Structure formats: structure tokens, C-alpha cells
Amino acid sequence: MITLIGTGHVFDLRNQILEILHHKQPDIICVELDEKRYAALMQRKNGNVKATSNKNASVLYRLLGKFQESMAKQYGVQAGDEMLTGIQFAHDHQRPIAFIDVAADRMFARMLHEMSVTEKLKLLISSFGSMFVSKKKVDEEINKIETNLESYLEQVGDKFP
């Protein structure tokens, strides 16, 4: 049986994730990471902050990363802590880990290549604007998503086809 655990990279979901993992006792832990991001996350965990910087990434990719870091800080965690929880569970319980995401930098570069100039501009503006979003605003957006997921996905599709 496969159990998917919905997470958000900026919320403190560690206890809930551990509760599910202890209850389900999975044979393997799959994390939404590629090997490069896994290595960066583990280096950050071990205190090697300099090694985790992404200087070669595009401006938009770095802005999105900064947004995640900023939001996570408002929720009292670091971006990716929920991934580390799953990884630590796997280590503690001798479970294999599978990385089930594509290389984010390549995926982002491909996405940008396929976007029109207007779409790139919209993304840049919204990414920059996201740096000033409050926890309250994020909570309101989450409530909107939970209330009407289909409408929310349509809005995102309209803004970023």
C-alpha cells in the first residue's frame, strides 16, 4: 500500500509526519527531492550553510527559495524540515529512501524556457511580491484552497498557464 503524506515545505508538520510514519511503518520512505537538493538539505542540517547556497540558480528560482525560507521562519521551522523528518525516520528505522522528484533546477529552467516573456514577467513580479507576504495572508490563502480547491487551481492556471 502507498500512503501519500501531503506536506508544505514551510509549515511545522514534523509531529504529524512522525505520527503517520510510526502508525503506517512503511517499507520505504519516498521524499520529494532530487539527489542534489537532498545533499544540500543534509549539508544544511549538518551546519554547512555555505554549501547549500544556490548561486548558479536563476533569479526567479532563488526568489522562490527566499520566499520559502521567509515563510518557514514565520512558522518557526526551516524550509525542508518535513523532509528531514522523513529522512531521519528512515535512518532510525533502517528503511531505504527514494528520491522521487526531478532535478528542480533543470525543471525550473525548462519551465522558464517554455514561458512567454509576459508569463516570465508575471512570475518575477509575483515572486518578488511574495517576499512581503505575511503569515496571516498565507493562512488566508490556505483556507481558500481548502474551501474550494478546483477554483484555486483554475486561478493559478489562469495566471500561469
Contact 123, 62 (CB under 8 A): no
pLDDT band at 124 (very low <50, low <70, confident <90, very high): confident
Q: Give the Cα separation of 136 and 129 in Å (integer).
A: 15
Give me the residue spans of the domains in the chain: 14-159
| pLDDT bucket at 156, cuts 50 / 70 / 90 | low
Higher model confidence: residue 116 or residue 66?
116
* Angle in degrees, CA 68, 59, 151, rounded to 5: 55
List the single range of 23-32, 34-43, 98-107, 146-155 with lowest mean pLDDT. Answer: 146-155
